[in-house]
Amino acid sequence: MKRITVLLGACAALLTLAGCSAQPVATAPSLDEIFATRRSIRAYDADKKISEAEIRELLTATQNAPSWANQQPSKYYVALGQEKFDAVLDLVGGNKPRVANASALVVCTFEKGKSGFFRGTPANDAGDFWGAYDNGLSNAYFILKAREMGFDTLIMGMREADGLRTLFAIPENEAVMAVIALGYRAEEPNMPVHRPLDEIVKFY
């Protein structure tokens, strides 16, 4: 018993010398936890903001997304300042009141004629659909990394492409895709019902 007491005392002394704390160490959420908590958020907390540095970290992570022959066709235009934010807000239709308190609105595009092309010629019948495919992969990395960082998102397909193109001087060789709202959730969303796996998968 005396030996155990001495050992415990020695361990406590070592922890003190090392500056260790009894507090648990925070760990990053697992991928399964990110899948379980990521939702399309339609109400944001106006009091919580995301910085440009954090958005840069987030967008850096999207560069790890795969793309056709590493063409990396996806582009992002970030409305973080109030003037641009308000201008984009007027171009997302019925989602405007839902995302008015988000921290940023991010316009996604892809460069046409890159993914799915070889020396300027479509490699197969999908053509520029491969650019949209790659942009979707990039967006998936975006929303999952956002959740890993504690942020929330809403991908909006209802948007006025011509207005966005003018607002950000988006060149004609880029296809305007979604606008993604980025912020902090103001309320907990419901868990959606998913289709049975056997309705969407066939094994042979």
Kindly state whether residue 17 falls inside one of the protein's structural domains: no
Q: In what order do the strands lie in the sheet with 174-183?
A: 74-79, 104-111, 174-183, 152-156
Residue 131 lies in a domain: yes
**Three-state secondary structure of 113-170:** CCCCEECCEECCCCCCHHHHHHHHHHHHHHHHHHHHCCCEEEEECCCCHHHHHHHHCC
Q: What crossing angle do the helices spanning 82-89 and 161-168 adopt, rounded to 10°?
A: 160
Q: How far apart are CA 135 and CA 79, in angstroms?
A: 19
Within-domain flag for 158:
yes
- Read off the pLDDT of residues 104-128 as tens digits, 9 standing for 90 and up: 999 999 999 999 999 999 999 999 9
Which residues form the domain of 44? 28-189
Domain count, the chain: 1
Q: Half-sphere exposure (CA, 13 Å, Cβ side) for 165?
A: 11
Q: What does pTM read for this prediction?
A: 0.86
Query: Residue 152 forms beta bridges with which residues?
Result: 183
Whether residue 49 is contained in a domain is answered as yes
Per residue in 69-93, pLDDT (tens digit) is 999 999 999 999 999 999 999 999 9
**What length is written for the chain?**
204
Residue indicated by tokens 């650019």: 131
Q: Which CATH number do you get for residue 164?
A: 3.40.109.10
Asked whether residue 33 is assigned to any structural domain, the reply reads yes
Q: What is the pLDDT of residues 131-145, one digit of tens each?
A: 999 999 999 999 999
The answer to whether the CB of 43 falls within 8 A of the CB of 185 is: yes
CA distance 40 to 78: 19
- The answer to whether position 202 is within a domain reads no
pLDDT in tens, 149-166: 999 999 999 999 999 999
